[in-house]
Structure 1
Amino acid sequence: MQVTETLNEGLKRGYTITVPAADLDAKVEAKLLEAQPEVEIKGFRKGKVPMAILRKQFGQRLMGDAMQDAIDGAMNEHFEKSGDRPALQPKIEMKGGDTWKEGDDLVVDMSYEKLPEIPEADLSGITLERLVVKADEAAVTEALENLAKAGQTFEDRKKGSKAKDGDQVVIDFKGSVDGVEFEGGAGEDYPLVLGSGSFIPGFEEQLVGAKAGEDVSVTVTFPENYGAAHLAGKEAVFACTVKEVKAPKAAEIDDELAKKFGAESLEALKAQVSERLEAEYSGASRAVLKRSLLDQLDALVKFDLPPSLVEAEAGQIAHQLWHEENPNVHDHNHGAIEPTEEHNKLAERRVRLGLLLAEIGRKAEVQVTDAELTQAVLAQARQYPGQERQFFEFIQKNPQAQQQLRAPIFEDKVVDHIVAGAKVTDKEVSKDDLTKAVDALDEM
């Protein structure tokens, strides 16, 4: 086997790999000899089939296997000797692919971008400030009031009262387009909270001011992106009968409310709420601290970046932001989205930090355990109620999906490793100050 360098430009590498025909034939011969004792063909006893017949019957398929083995072996040997780590899967092109015949040498071109050498990062100068927020009584009270609102009930308003925003109206309704009723457009005794946004835009507003016993004609236009294509963009009229008008009544903040949310008493619920709030504050504080750390790491070292990784990351950023700006588009049936200069700069930062964190983690021997990966899979599976088993099977069979779950865990563990050795000072701040710091992350 011969490997000849054809390209050495920045991080780009190119090689021509030549495997002599005799080496390929020897591999085929070895595979035939290995299989011969188990082969049984009509007219011959098991293990006694002549090599010539074996070659005629199985040689072509085994030649394909031998070629793949030769290419894989050459690549592995090359990367072991050179120390190169390809940024993406190397591109392999076989020369004379259509005209190649048995007896010819196997010649392939291999090209890739290597990962750069990451310079040593001096982490000794990293200083971080951790924002600390305590769950004070006011915050706990506010959270309890929100729970009471979530657990609210509705009571009949005085006869003749007009429905207000936030009230619940119990209605019968029938919808029609161009005078023809449509499937799924009718309901009886439907409890609708006005202002909840659970119906088509414009529907609930037209019921404000209605009284029990009144008939109301509601005219709305279905959104252009409505799920039922035959209704999208169409004007519809709903004949509604208001049967009841009810006012909201927040639940009392007492032991009964606590029991509704799984706590033994109000004091126990307060303790749970306080713990949850501080966990939320801690998570937000960590996000602020992590951004500060990444900013410092970004300024520590500079190195060449594989263009393919930057291009792929910029494309992903552009695509994600486009969908955030166009939330009504849920599929990918749209035109090409060209990354901007801003997308490219952000992609360079992400790739550089990703490679740097990976190198720091490698040197520190940071590992993601099976237990940690399992926890991540369990958390993700909860998003697919009723399909948990299918999700587990998909993850088990899909190494790429496993890596997508493993990567953020690894990154967080590397961040923890760096923070553990950094100079960190705690600063007690208010909830509002923490909120401002988190909001500022989105503006950067």
Structure 2
Amino acid sequence: MQVTETLNEGLKRSYTITVPAAELDAKVQEKLVEAQPEIEMKGFRKGKVPMAMLKKQYGPRLLGDAMQDAIDGAMKSHFEATGDRPALQPDVKMVGGEEWAEGQDVVVEMTYETLPEIPELDTSSVTLERLVVKADDASVEEALKNLAATAQSFEDRRKGSKAKDGDQIVIDFKGSVDGEVFEGGTAEDYPLVLGSGSFIPGFEEQLVGAKADDDVEVKVTFPENYGASHLAGKEALFECKVKAVKAPKEAELDDELAKKYGAEDLAGLKAQIAQRLEAEYAGASRAVLKRALLDQLDGMVSFDLPPSLVEAEAGQIAHQLYHEEHPDDHEHNHGAIEATDEHKKLAERRVRLGLLLAEIGRKADVQVTDQEMTQAVLNQARQYPGQERAFFEFVQKNPQMQQQLRAPLFEDKVVDHIVSGATVTEKEVSKDELQTSIDALDEI
């Protein structure tokens, strides 16, 4: 077998791999000898089928297997010998294609872009500032009031009172389209908070001003993108019977409220809220710290980037931004989206930092554990209530999805590794100052 270099330009590499016909024939013969003892054929005992007949029957398939084994082995040996690490899967094409005939040498052309040599980086010279925010009394009280609002109850209004936004009305309703009652459009004793937006647009507004014992006809049009296609865009009539009008009553800020949320008393609940707030602040502070770290790293190194990786990343960025700017376009049949110079510049930064972090992590032997992966899958599965098991099975069978979940875990662990050896000072700031720093991340 012979491997000949045909291109070595920047990070681009091209080689021809020649597998002699005699070598292929020997591999086929070897496979036939291995299989012969287990093969039965009409007229012959098991293991006694003549080699010539085996070659005629199984030779073509085994020849294909032998070609693939030989090429895979040549590629593996080449990468071990050169130390090249392909940026993407190498492009392998057979020279001659359909003109090739059995008995001829097999020649394939292998083309790829190798990952660049990344210079050594002394991360101990990195200096960072960690923003620290304490949960002040005002923030805790605000969070406590919001908690009380979610735990509100409702009390009957005085007889004859008209329902207002924020009130809860208890209704029986029956919905119909073109005079036909439709499935799922009927309920009794349904508690509806007016202004909650839990019903289709226009429904709740027509019940504002209703009183207990009123009969109200609500006329609405289902949205064009309504989940039930047979109702989408249709006009509907709901016959509603108002059975009660109730005013909201916020929960008292006392020990009873605290016990509802698992605390012993109000002081304990406030301590829990303060702890949660500071965890949220710490998460936001980490995002600011990470951006500052990446900015520093980006200015500390320079190396060639594989054009294919930059092009793929720029395309992803352009596609993502298109859908952010066109949130109503849920399809992907919008045709090619041209990446701009700005997209390419951002792609270069992401690829450069991605390769740098990967190299730092490789040299530091940073690993994502099975337990960390399982937790990541659990967190993702929570987004699909009732389908958690199916999501787990999907991830198990999908290496690409596994990589999508593993990549951010690996990156965060590498960031932690670098930060642990950097010079980090702490600066106490207000939550508003922290928010300003977070907002600035989106402007860069």
TM bucket by the smaller chain? over 0.9
| C-alpha separation in 2, matches of 1:117 and 1:44 | 60
> Deviations for 1:66-97, whole angstroms, at most 9, x for unmatched residues?
01101111111111122211111111111233
| C-alpha separation in 1, matches of 2:362 and 2:133 | 34
Q: Which residue of 1 aligns with 2:356?
A: 356
> Deviations for 1:235-255, whole angstroms, at most 9, x for unmatched residues?
444333322211111122223
**Residue ranges of structure 1 left out of the alignment (5+ in a row):** none
SS of alignment partner, residue 172 of structure 2 = strand
Q: Which residue of 2 aligns with 1:47?
A: 47
> Deviations for 1:17-61, whole angstroms, at most 9, x for unmatched residues?
111111111111111112222223333333222211221221111
Q: Which residue of 1 aligns with 2:300?
A: 300
8 Å contact kept, 1:315–1:339: yes
8 Å contact kept, 1:140–1:274: yes
> Deviations for 1:389-430, whole angstroms, at most 9, x for unmatched residues?
333333223222222121111101110111111111101111
1:174 paired to 2:161: no
| C-alpha separation in 1, matches of 2:30 and 2:402 | 36
8 Å contact kept, 1:5–1:16: yes
Residues 150-229 of structure 1 aligned to structure 2 (within 5 Å) = 150-177=150-177, 180-229=180-229
- Once the two structures are TM-superposed, the CA of residue 316 in structure 1 deviates from its matched residue by 1.9
User: After the TM superposition, which of the residue ranges 57-66 and 119-128 deviates more from structure 2?
Assistant: 119-128
From the superposition, tell whether residues 375 and 199 of structure 1 become closer, same or farther in structure 2 (CA, over 3 Å): same
SS of alignment partner, residue 98 of structure 1 = helix
- Once the two structures are TM-superposed, the CA of residue 333 in structure 1 deviates from its matched residue by 4.3
SS of alignment partner, residue 98 of structure 2 = coil
1:7 paired to 2:36: no
Residues 256-267 of structure 1 aligned to structure 2 (within 5 Å) = 256-267=256-267
- Once the two structures are TM-superposed, the CA of residue 176 in structure 1 deviates from its matched residue by 4.1
8 Å contact kept, 1:122–1:300: no
Q: Which residue of 1 aligns with 2:268?
A: 268
Q: Which residue of 2 aligns with 1:288?
A: 288
One-letter amino acid of the counterpart of residue 51, structure 1: M
From the superposition, tell whether residues 247 and 333 of structure 1 become closer, same or farther in structure 2 (CA, over 3 Å): farther
SS of alignment partner, residue 304 of structure 1 = coil
One-letter amino acid of the counterpart of residue 93, structure 1: K
One-letter amino acid of the counterpart of residue 309, structure 2: L
One-letter amino acid of the counterpart of residue 47, structure 1: G
| C-alpha separation in 2, matches of 1:378 and 1:131 | 30
1:434 paired to 2:425: no
Q: Which residue of 2 aligns with 1:387?
A: 387
| C-alpha separation in 2, matches of 1:231 and 1:333 | 26
One-letter amino acid of the counterpart of residue 291, structure 1: R
| C-alpha separation in 2, matches of 1:209 and 1:339 | 54
| C-alpha separation in 1, matches of 2:370 and 2:296 | 31
- Once the two structures are TM-superposed, the CA of residue 268 in structure 1 deviates from its matched residue by 3.0
One-letter amino acid of the counterpart of residue 102, structure 1: E
From the superposition, tell whether residues 385 and 176 of structure 1 become closer, same or farther in structure 2 (CA, over 3 Å): closer
| C-alpha separation in 2, matches of 1:371 and 1:98 | 49
- Once the two structures are TM-superposed, the CA of residue 225 in structure 1 deviates from its matched residue by 2.2
Superposed CA RMSD in Å reads 2.1
1:317 paired to 2:304: no
Equivalences, count:
444
**Residue ranges of structure 2 left out of the alignment (5+ in a row):** none
From the superposition, tell whether residues 119 and 419 of structure 1 become closer, same or farther in structure 2 (CA, over 3 Å): same
- TM score, norm. by length of structure 2: 0.93
| C-alpha separation in 2, matches of 1:235 and 1:340 | 45
1:250 paired to 2:250: yes
Q: Which residue of 1 aligns with 2:21?
A: 21
SS of alignment partner, residue 141 of structure 1 = helix
- Once the two structures are TM-superposed, the CA of residue 181 in structure 1 deviates from its matched residue by 4.4
| C-alpha separation in 1, matches of 2:228 and 2:270 | 45
Q: Which residue of 2 aligns with 1:101?
A: 101
SS of alignment partner, residue 192 of structure 1 = strand
- Once the two structures are TM-superposed, the CA of residue 201 in structure 1 deviates from its matched residue by 2.2
User: After the TM superposition, which of the residue ranges 277-286 and 46-55 deviates more from structure 2?
Assistant: 46-55
8 Å contact kept, 1:13–1:113: yes
